[in-house]
Amino acid sequence: MDINSAEFLISNTTFKKCPQNEKAEFAFIGRSNVGKSSLINMITGKKKLAKTSSTPGKTQLINHFIVNDEWYLVDLPGYGYAKASKKSRKVWEHFISEYLLHREFLLTTFVLIDSRLEPQAIDLEFMNWCGSKGIPFSIIFTKTDKLSSSALQKKLSFYKKEMLKYWEELPPVFISSSQSKLGRESILNYLQEILNSFSESRS
Ligand code: GTP
Ligand code: MG
């Protein structure tokens, strides 16, 4: 799929104010600093589209970007930010779960996972929660440029094994690097497939 245009549209603190025009949407979620905003920039080919930072906790709102005038990519705040207070975690949980549960045209949520880390309870719990609520998701392993290919393969197979303790089958899994652009084609092809079935289902 070609990206012809990608523009920032709106930031919100509540799903209720998010755009209401029946366009397909894809969200990016995961731990703070995992690379959600960078991945949106890599996929759209616009380095400064979503704000990134080496300090965790940069993205604080629900950010809609419109792509090809046709569908949305949504950048969300991260979870598991060590310095966040209990109260702000509760606020996060509420507004993100409301968003994920109520966006009718949210076709898939990409859960981003740092490929360097061992499986983290917070990610596994989040994916289990998505499963229990019937929220379709896929996994994208990020920052793979920081690992050798053999180390990456080891991490991936360990992760998959861990997930199969909870799941009968794995969701779609992608590997990415916002630095080398690894994963861009596969992710875009996957988005195209989902968009095709979405438009077929509506015609
Ligand atoms: P929050 O908005 O704070 O939740 O973070 P985020 O998940 O949006 O992460 P962001 O894209 O802001 O990236 C965090 C840091 O990781 C930045 O310093 C990025 O440059 C770096 N980073 C992101 N993706 C990659 C990658 O694929 N490779 C490398 N080497 N660094 C990356
Ligand atoms: Mg961000």
Separation CA 96–CA 174 (nearest Å):
23
Whether 78 is in a domain gets the answer yes
Q: What is the pLDDT of residues 36-46, one digit of tens each?
A: 999 999 999 99
Averaged pLDDT of the chain: 94
Q: What is the pLDDT of residues 182-191, one digit of tens each?
A: 999 999 999 9
Count up the domains in the chain and report the number: 1
Q: Ligand 1 centre and the CA of 51: distance in Å?
A: 10
Whether 1 is in a domain gets the answer no
Contact 61, 104 (CB under 8 A): no
Q: Ligand 2 centre and the CA of 114: distance in Å?
A: 14
What CATH number does the domain containing 182 carry? 3.40.50.300
Whether 55 is in a domain gets the answer yes
pTM (2 decimals)?
0.96
Q: Which residue range(s) make up the domain with 178?
A: 6-198
Between β-strands 173-175 and 137-142, what pairing exists: parallel, antiparallel or unpaired? parallel
User: Under 8 Å CB-to-CB from 51, ≥6 apart: which residues?
Assistant: 37, 58, 59
Pocket-forming residues, ligand 1, beta carbon under 6 Å: 32-38, 52-54, 56-59, 77-78, 142-143, 145-146, 177-179
Residues of the chain short of pLDDT 50, as ranges, are: none
Whether 60 is in a domain gets the answer yes
